[in-house]
Structure 1
Amino acid sequence: MTLDDAQTPFLAVDATVVRANADRLSRHLAGLGVPLRAHVKTTKSVDLAALLDDGRPVPITVSTLAEASAFADAGYRDILYAVGIAPDKLPRVTALRDRGVDLTVLLDSVEQAAAVPAGVPALIEVDCDGHRGGVQPTDPVLLDIAHTLAARGAVPRGVLTHAGESYFADGVAALRAAAAHERDCAVRAAAVLRAAGFEAPVVSVGSTPTAHFATDLTGVTEVRAGNFLLFDLVMAGIGVCTPSDLAMTVVATVIGHRPDKGWILTDGGWMATSRDRGTARQRVDQGYGLVADLDGTLYDDLLMTDASQEHGILSVRPGSSAALPTLPVGARVRILPNHACATAAQHDRYHVVRPGSRAVEAVWSRIRGW
């Protein structure tokens, strides 16, 4: 099978680019003396995760218990479930731990802590930028949570923070500042726990932007990141990568034209690419994605500018003098996505290729559900 004959729309992933992206972050973190706990929420693939460390099970982060189960089946034993725990999911957590998986949960309230069974380790989520969940580093509830866990025989293992606002940073200075603030908040919260007599051996930070732009991780014990394996146009837009670092594209087929509107129609609508328009708030709006030919060469200022469920609309970037390329019905294109996590979630498999080749070396499945 090749990219010319697999049925569109489908995901193509360049395994060589994935490995280069992994090596880049590994080198950076090694220089800072902190290990990576890769987040598999973006790729949701045991096969892709195997590119991280020559197939050896490494510590990972998951966003669903379906991911945790699939990776446990593949031999992974050190897993962090980094979404605030819902009490009804704790029996599944316990079942995985009974299989020998060191599964850690995440929480940010006394109510959650009061539901965690004895022996289950938990990280307390710390809010470093007002993005989502978590408690402030010096909020008294931090210690209330730790005491509640300890009273139940659960294990307050440490703290976790995620610099979600770093995805809206722009440029090196802003990204470095976000990374430093993320570290400071986590280290401060861990110090509060230790001063109260809790060991807090884990100080976990991370997002793809801050992981790449941290310059000092003193006091941090691990870094989490997931988008970095595939990258996307949002990451390129804030300067974390370039479009050439994007390892995943959506392959679609031209199915029609509207010359009166300057449109080329494809069979890759938002069901194939997602509705994510993350670059709309950036300096350069990339529509629903940049467009390349089947060999990966970008067309000049050609964007996927709109989408319905199963139709993609390609047109020239507004204000550009570029000419609309001649793409006959049946021609294939590759769409570079805004948000790798959202686009990958629309599909159940990856078609694996290498640079300069249209041959599909393998088809790797993705984990679905929760």
Structure 2
Amino acid sequence: MITRPTLVINEDICRANIRGMAKKANFSRVIFRPHFKTHQSLQIADWFRDQGVDRITVSSAEMAIKFAKAGWNDITIAFPANIRETDTYNKLAEKLELNLLTDSIEATEALVSNLNTDTGIFIEIDTGYGRSGVHYANEEMIRKIVHIIDHAPKLSFKGFLTHSGNTYYATNTGQIEDIYNKTIAELRSLKDKYINTHPAIIISVGDTPSCSLIDDLSGANEIRPGNFVYYDLMQYYLGSCKLSDISVSVACPVTGIYPDRNEIVIYGGAVHLSKEFLEQDGRFFGLVVNYTDDGRSSPLPDTRLISISQEHGIIRTSPEFLKTVKHGDLLGILPVHSCLTANLLKDQMIIV
């Protein structure tokens, strides 16, 4: 019995999302190294194994340890290397194939000084997102980093890696395609400069919008999408998925009904859903569904999660729907950003 906000995962939809991306990677002849930060679930990880996945991406050393204990032995930590965790990196690299990221001379030199176990190194490239990474045009910096890696006995240069997070700010699918094409062109230009001396290097890309919308991903050598396993409203409004592809919802108990303002209060707030919102005909923090015997309904018309505080959520709805709701009912919320929601509820989830 669900008594508090709970992440509800639809296994059929989730598995279909995994199959679809694995099929696209196979068609494109690229390495499929999915990011596990979205689901962080050992059970869902096994669903990837069912599709032949044998290498993964994570966002922290802690996450790498978790999946290493479950038998995953080829892991990229897709976050700038944290020099304070080099002891942990060494222990991981003793047991598995480990890849780390660097984007500066200082960080690379620190890795050389502190890593005593064979470790792969990707140079993270900024192709327009502006978060982390060496700017793709900073050829001198890139050359120096490659030189340092080449002269380090325990490090091996794996190639160039990027996350085109700027696709999340696109306003149409054409912009996402343009960002992908620009990213691939810039990374291929870099790879061409080093391929003769480093024939095994690869290009690794990773955002869900691009990987969902581009039919042929063969311009890259490796893809690392993560959000696609669940999808969410952000991806839906970007055009990356259909509403029926969203495999998660948050079941929230009804704790208050207010006919005078056509609103419902649910037990489900920022500590469960995050404070991510969308602006589509007004601001909202999620769409509302009913649970049915065979899954869930489509989003209810004229019904949105319009406000959240720490534990409270306020749903505004129609007078007609309000009359059907009772205290203690469960309403489902389709999340704006499933990565954050799943992390908040990773210890409170069910699979149906």
TM-score by length of 2: 0.91
Contact 1:114/1:152 (CA < 8 Å) preserved in 2? no
Contact 2:27/2:216 (CA < 8 Å) preserved in 1? no
Which structure 2 residues correspond to residues 222-233 of structure 1 after superposition, within 5 A?
Answer: 222-233=222-233
Instruction: Name the residue aligned to 1:122.
Output: 121
Does the C-alpha gap of structure 1 residues 27 and 165 become closer, same or farther in structure 2, counting only changes over 3 Å? Answer: same
Which structure 2 residues correspond to residues 156-195 of structure 1 after superposition, within 5 A?
Answer: 156-194=157-195
Instruction: Name the residue aligned to 2:333.
Output: 335
Contact 1:125/1:134 (CA < 8 Å) preserved in 2? yes
Deviates more, 1:55-64 or 1:329-338: 55-64
- Using the TM superposition, give the Cα deviation of residue 206 of structure 1 relative to its aligned residue in structure 2, in angstroms: 1.7
Contact 1:131/1:163 (CA < 8 Å) preserved in 2? no
Deviates more, 1:30-39 or 1:41-50: 30-39
Instruction: Name the residue aligned to 2:135.
Output: 136
- Using the TM superposition, give the Cα deviation of residue 135 of structure 1 relative to its aligned residue in structure 2, in angstroms: 1.4
Q: Does 1:41 align with 2:37?
A: yes
The one-letter amino acid paired with 2:339 is C
Which structure 2 residues correspond to residues 301-320 of structure 1 after superposition, within 5 A?
Answer: 301-316=302-317
> Whole-Å Cα distance in 2 between the matches of residues 285 and 67 of structure 1?
37
Q: Deviations over 1:123-165 (max 9, x none)?
A: 0001111331111233110011111122222211111011111
> Whole-Å Cα distance in 2 between the matches of residues 198 and 93 of structure 1?
24
Moved over 6 A (4+): none
- Using the TM superposition, give the Cα deviation of residue 243 of structure 1 relative to its aligned residue in structure 2, in angstroms: 1.6
> Whole-Å Cα distance in 1 between the matches of residues 282 and 41 of structure 2?
30
- Using the TM superposition, give the Cα deviation of residue 288 of structure 1 relative to its aligned residue in structure 2, in angstroms: 0.9
The partner residue of 1:113 within 108, 127, 130 is 108
Give the alignment's Cα RMSD to 1 decimal: 1.8
Instruction: Name the residue aligned to 1:16.
Output: 12
Which structure 2 residues correspond to residues 1-370 of structure 1 after superposition, within 5 A?
Answer: 5-54=1-50, 58-99=54-95, 101-116=96-111, 117=115, 119-139=118-138, 140-153=140-153, 154-194=155-195, 197-277=197-277, 279-280=278-279, 283=280, 287-295=284-292, 296-297=296-297, 298-316=299-317, 323-326=320-323, 327-347=325-345, 348-353=347-352
> Whole-Å Cα distance in 1 between the matches of residues 283 and 31 of structure 2?
34
> Whole-Å Cα distance in 2 between the matches of residues 9 and 218 of structure 1?
41
- Using the TM superposition, give the Cα deviation of residue 301 of structure 1 relative to its aligned residue in structure 2, in angstroms: 2.0
The one-letter amino acid paired with 1:114 is E
Deviates more, 1:33-42 or 1:20-29: 20-29
What is the percent sequence identity of the aligned residues? 29
The one-letter amino acid paired with 1:330 is G
> Whole-Å Cα distance in 2 between the matches of residues 292 and 314 of structure 1?
11
- Using the TM superposition, give the Cα deviation of residue 324 of structure 1 relative to its aligned residue in structure 2, in angstroms: 4.3
Does the C-alpha gap of structure 1 residues 130 and 269 become closer, same or farther in structure 2, counting only changes over 3 Å? Answer: closer
The answer for unaligned runs of 5 or more in structure 2 is: none
Contact 1:17/1:247 (CA < 8 Å) preserved in 2? yes
> Whole-Å Cα distance in 2 between the matches of residues 55 and 183 of structure 1?
26
Contact 1:137/1:186 (CA < 8 Å) preserved in 2? yes
Contact 1:180/1:214 (CA < 8 Å) preserved in 2? no
- Using the TM superposition, give the Cα deviation of residue 285 of structure 1 relative to its aligned residue in structure 2, in angstroms: 5.0
Contact 1:49/1:55 (CA < 8 Å) preserved in 2? no
The one-letter amino acid paired with 2:131 is R
> Whole-Å Cα distance in 1 between the matches of residues 18 and 122 of structure 2?
26
Instruction: Name the residue aligned to 1:367.
Output: none
The one-letter amino acid paired with 1:339 is H
Contact 1:301/1:322 (CA < 8 Å) preserved in 2? no
Deviates more, 1:5-14 or 1:79-88: 5-14
The one-letter amino acid paired with 1:102 is E
- Using the TM superposition, give the Cα deviation of residue 27 of structure 1 relative to its aligned residue in structure 2, in angstroms: 2.2
Does the C-alpha gap of structure 1 residues 285 and 63 become closer, same or farther in structure 2, counting only changes over 3 Å? Answer: farther
> Whole-Å Cα distance in 2 between the matches of residues 61 and 40 of structure 1?
6
> Whole-Å Cα distance in 1 between the matches of residues 191 and 55 of structure 2?
21
Select the structure that is richer in helix.
2
Does the C-alpha gap of structure 1 residues 111 and 284 become closer, same or farther in structure 2, counting only changes over 3 Å? Answer: farther
Contact 2:19/2:51 (CA < 8 Å) preserved in 1? no
- Using the TM superposition, give the Cα deviation of residue 257 of structure 1 relative to its aligned residue in structure 2, in angstroms: 1.9
The answer for unaligned runs of 5 or more in structure 1 is: 354-370
Contact 1:162/1:182 (CA < 8 Å) preserved in 2? no
- Using the TM superposition, give the Cα deviation of residue 239 of structure 1 relative to its aligned residue in structure 2, in angstroms: 0.5
> Whole-Å Cα distance in 2 between the matches of residues 164 and 299 of structure 1?
30
